[in-house]
Structure 1
Amino acid sequence: MDHETNEAEPDLSGSFCQTSSVGSPVSRCSLSLPRSLSFQVDDDIESENVSETGDIGDRALHSKRHSESGSIRLSDKGLENGMSVPISEGSAQHDSTALNTRSPMSLLPEEIISPISIDVLVCSKEKQEDKEKAFALPPLLEYMSCLVYLAVFGILGVLTRYKLQKLFGPGVAGVTSDNYPLYLDLPSNMVGSFLMGWWGVVFKGDISRVSDHLAIGLTTGYLGSLTTFSGWNQKMLDLSVDGHWVFSFVGFLIGLFLAAYAIKLGVGTAKCFKSFLERSNRSSDLAGWRVDNCYHHLGVLVVLVVILGLLWSVSWAMLKKEYNHDSGGAQLWLACIVAPPGVWIRWFLARLNGRGLGKAGSLKWVPFGTLIANVSAACIMAALSTVKKAVHTKTCETISTGIQLGFLGCLSTVSTFIAEYNAMEESQKNWRGYAYALMTIAVSFGLGILIYSVPVWTRGYK
């Protein structure tokens, strides 16, 4: 191929590639594929993209290392089909963590040359220069940094959720209650979904340019722990076990509708604010905060380790102090102690999102990582609620409620769940969003009835 004349000629795979002048880091290719195969690839890519909208767990770290090494990794399906993948300068829409920052259907036509899997990491010249300046942590230290970020922000999420429960609960505002469809965790689920529109969709790329770990900490750690699906499901089980089946049904509808509207409102307001920053030339102010060398990474990590130690130390001290009292303080401090493992497990499970089932990767559109986290947390919470009613002692009440509030509240999430639902709803096959929501709610609630409601009805627990 003559690079100087920009002439196009067919390659061996049947596609036609055009390379820019010498020294240009990108090439532009267009595929010549059968229409049926093109449609199949298009559907597979969209399915994978919407499933990975919320989180991809520690796979983001592997993707980042691929991008920093300058390599391009093709999806397994693309390699198996022997297809060459189109690469263009306009294709560099994904951040360094390979996480979706917007719905795949929201991309403008001029930004898409042809379908590209999320696994294809393409960096523009500007981003390649940023990567050359960035400092790459050793893999072990990078994992440790992520775990510390997730732990600190997870505990902060639990504290925020608890305070919102008290603020909007019967004791203060009286908006939410255990006896009505407006359950206690509804405000935190709405706030977390709204902020997911800001930090997890619109501004995620900007936050990642400051620090990839900060983006993980804010979205997976803080917002994932601020919101809880298991608490939502358990409140609906409590209503149904008392015979308020209509309240349970309405509670699920209200919770889903308000969370879905909250993330749309968050995305809309964040886009308006971002356009204002761009017009006022303030979008580059974050460059000075970038964590891009060894000293910055280690400095931030040391500070977060100290904060985590203080949070755990204070929680242990307050747990011992409040344990003999009848207030809910002991439950809160125990929740702060056991919260980080819940966040870590959810983060590792998120690596299953977008992978599908089996070697063929069927049902890629289902975020199995998030689904497993939410359903398992709901089932364990239902089991602990059954134990509380069966044992009915102060010690059992404190320990069970603390685990429910902290570990299980952080293991399950509404913010990621609703981000995935929103991406599916805005895709070409919007029925997947409703199917995913119905699948998550129906399986969790159905298993909860077997684990919690049936023993309560048959044993006469009160």
Structure 2
Amino acid sequence: MERMKSDGGSSSIRRRSLSISSHRSYQTDNDVDFETVSEAGDIGDRALPSKRFSESNSFHSENGAVEFHRLHPNSSIIPLSHEVSSTPPLSTDAIVGSEDSSKLEPPKGLPVFLDYVSCMTQLAVFGILGILTRYLLQKLFGPEVANVTNNHTILYLDLPSNMIGSFFMGWFGVEFKKDISNVSEHLAIAITTGYLGSLTTFSGWNQKMLELSASGRWVISSLGFLIGLALVSVSIAFGIETAKGFRWLLNRLNITSSENCISKINCKVDSYLRQLTVMVMFLVILGILWGVSGALVKAKFKNGGSAAELWFACLVGPIGVWIRWFLARLNGRGLGKEGLMFTWIPFGTLIANVSAACVMAALSTIKNVVNTRNCDTVVAGIQFGVMGCLSTVSTFAAEFNKMRLSSDPWTAYVYAAITICLSFSFGILIYCIPYWTKGFDIDM
């Protein structure tokens, strides 16, 4: 009897330990899934090769226990200080080749500082190109040419750029991002975070809905958010599907993959000389863009107008791209002392969009108060450049789409509601209330 009790007790302990182990495994898998979803858009400077190497190959030894870091599908690695020796070790697949010291050596590229300079330069160049493209799309679809969009309806001026940017985010930010990264990590960051992030703007979208609400058109404003969200969601989904179809077509035509192409023609930017050459090239391009923009601003500033605002936006726009890129490191980190709370929320993108929308509303209020030509030019340039590049719809759409297709699709709608409600609520306080109390005229 005592032996039976002993056996029964031990089996109960085993069952309890198995239950705890399976529950812990489920929590770990769920956390990894949430973090991966929240990093669907960008992970900031953690995407740099130097950052990945320093984080992926580091380990802590405390009381004889080795602490490994968790790997993510996007090749970004986040050190988790809360993992202890009781956590199940990584599978052998995750640490294959760890004994080969040659594989632990960092790539022979630029030093960390120059690596940052190169990445930020490419972000600035592609950010300016995104500003120019957004301006051209406004003119093309606006009242001056196609007359499809305007400031008085649901079809706001930045809707075409938000849809087109989200569509191409499905191509270059989801389906073909790995292929581009095989050539250059910086190029993949520059196209997605720099160009597509600057081509799309959440703050401009929010501000147009605020202006409609301030003039009493609340129904149109509400529909503007709902229809705008639906259109960018369809755009990125359509982009992903067409990109998959294009990849399938390439496979059917027996066209070699990008990895085989890279191995044959050796076009990957991974050596010191190649990275230095690319950095110098983009520094020259950035200097030319800033030089031309500065000269045109000086020539057109006195007369004001959209041209002066555009070139001033090109001068200051890269600031917004850089801030958003650094904020993206918060994506997937979560809240709390150990970063375990709300890991599914991409806080970097959320902060960038909400803060840009608030500053955009504040600048619009200042513009109404001062109401001079020079102030209008500077404020509009900052709005179109810095705020337009700081906020993004393409990354927001990628995160929304990833959450919607995850095991917890409700997170997508909660995330969208948080972003829109916070931005619109603060905008009412900052912009609409001064308009109602002071009686400003809205130049729509």
* TM-score interval, normalised by the smaller of the two chains: 0.7 to 0.9
Q: How does 1:266-277 map to 2 (within 5 A)?
A: 266-277=239-250
Native 8 Å contact 2:290 2:314 kept in 1 = yes
Native 8 Å contact 1:66 1:73 kept in 2 = no
Aligned partner of 1:207 in structure 2 is: 180
Native 8 Å contact 2:42 2:193 kept in 1 = yes
Aligned partner of 2:352 in structure 1 is: 373
Q: How does 1:431-442 map to 2 (within 5 A)?
A: 431-442=410-421
Q: Deviations over 1:136-173 (max 9, x none)?
A: 32111111111101111110110000100000001001
Native 8 Å contact 2:109 2:275 kept in 1 = no
Q: 1:248 to 1:35 in 2, by over 3 A?
A: same
2: CA distance between counterparts of 1:123 and 1:202?
Answer: 26
Partner of residue 324 from structure 1, selected from 289, 302, 309: 302
Matched, 1:165 2:138: yes
Native 8 Å contact 2:108 2:271 kept in 1 = yes
2: CA distance between counterparts of 1:155 and 1:423?
Answer: 28
Matched, 1:233 2:211: no
Higher RCO structure (Cα 8 Å, ≥6 apart): 2
Matched, 1:65 2:53: yes
Q: Which residue type is aligned with residue 255 of structure 2? A: N
Native 8 Å contact 1:189 1:228 kept in 2 = yes
Native 8 Å contact 1:158 1:339 kept in 2 = yes
SS in 1 for 2:414: helix
SS in 1 for 2:352: helix
Aligned partner of 2:40 in structure 1 is: 53
Matched, 1:397 2:401: no
1: CA distance between counterparts of 2:58 and 2:25?
Answer: 28
Q: 1:69 to 1:360 in 2, by over 3 A?
A: closer
SS in 1 for 2:305: coil
Cα offset for 1:254? 1.2
Aligned partner of 2:129 in structure 1 is: 156
Q: How does 1:160-199 map to 2 (within 5 A)?
A: 160-199=133-172
Partner of residue 82 from structure 1, selected from 83, 86, 89: 86
Native 8 Å contact 1:67 1:123 kept in 2 = no
Native 8 Å contact 1:336 1:406 kept in 2 = yes
Cα offset for 1:320? 1.1
SS in 1 for 2:156: coil
Matched, 1:333 2:329: no
Aligned partner of 1:145 in structure 2 is: 118
Native 8 Å contact 1:346 1:370 kept in 2 = yes
Partner of residue 255 from structure 2, selected from 281, 285, 288: 281
Native 8 Å contact 1:177 1:183 kept in 2 = yes
Q: How does 1:12-51 map to 2 (within 5 A)?
A: 34-51=21-38
Q: How does 1:341-380 map to 2 (within 5 A)?
A: 341-361=319-339, 362-380=341-359
| Rg comparison, structure with higher value | 2
Q: Which residue type is aligned with residue 378 of structure 1? A: A
Aligned partner of 2:237 in structure 1 is: 264
Structure 1 unaligned blocks of 5 or more: 1-13, 15-30, 92-121
Give the RMSD, CA atoms, in angstroms. 2.3
2: CA distance between counterparts of 1:275 and 1:357?
Answer: 40
TM value normalised by structure 2? 0.85
Partner of residue 431 from structure 2, selected from 443, 452, 456: 452
1: CA distance between counterparts of 2:96 and 2:366?
Answer: 53
Q: How does 1:67-146 map to 2 (within 5 A)?
A: 73-74=69-70, 75-76=79-80, 79-80=83-84, 82-87=86-91, 89=93, 134-146=107-119
Matched, 1:298 2:294: no
Q: Which residue type is aligned with residue 383 of structure 1? A: A
Cα offset for 1:358? 1.9
Q: Which residue type is aligned with residue 46 of structure 1? A: D
2: CA distance between counterparts of 1:270 and 1:130?
Answer: 33
2: CA distance between counterparts of 1:149 and 1:80?
Answer: 39
Cα offset for 1:286? 4.1
Q: Which residue type is aligned with residue 168 of structure 1? A: F
Native 8 Å contact 1:345 1:411 kept in 2 = yes
Q: Deviations over 1:199-242 (max 9, x none)?
A: 11111111111000001101111111000000000000011011
Partner of residue 382 from structure 1, selected from 361, 370, 374: 361
Q: How does 1:412-427 map to 2 (within 5 A)?
A: 412-427=391-406
Question: Taking every aligned residue pair, what percent have the same amino acid on both sides?
Answer: 55
Q: 1:276 to 1:453 in 2, by over 3 A?
A: same
1: CA distance between counterparts of 2:58 and 2:188?
Answer: 22
Q: 1:332 to 1:240 in 2, by over 3 A?
A: same
Q: 1:32 to 1:123 in 2, by over 3 A?
A: farther
TM value normalised by structure 1? 0.82
Aligned partner of 2:190 in structure 1 is: 217
1: CA distance between counterparts of 2:273 and 2:119?
Answer: 17
SS in 1 for 2:213: helix
Native 8 Å contact 2:403 2:411 kept in 1 = yes
Native 8 Å contact 2:345 2:415 kept in 1 = yes
Matched, 1:314 2:292: yes
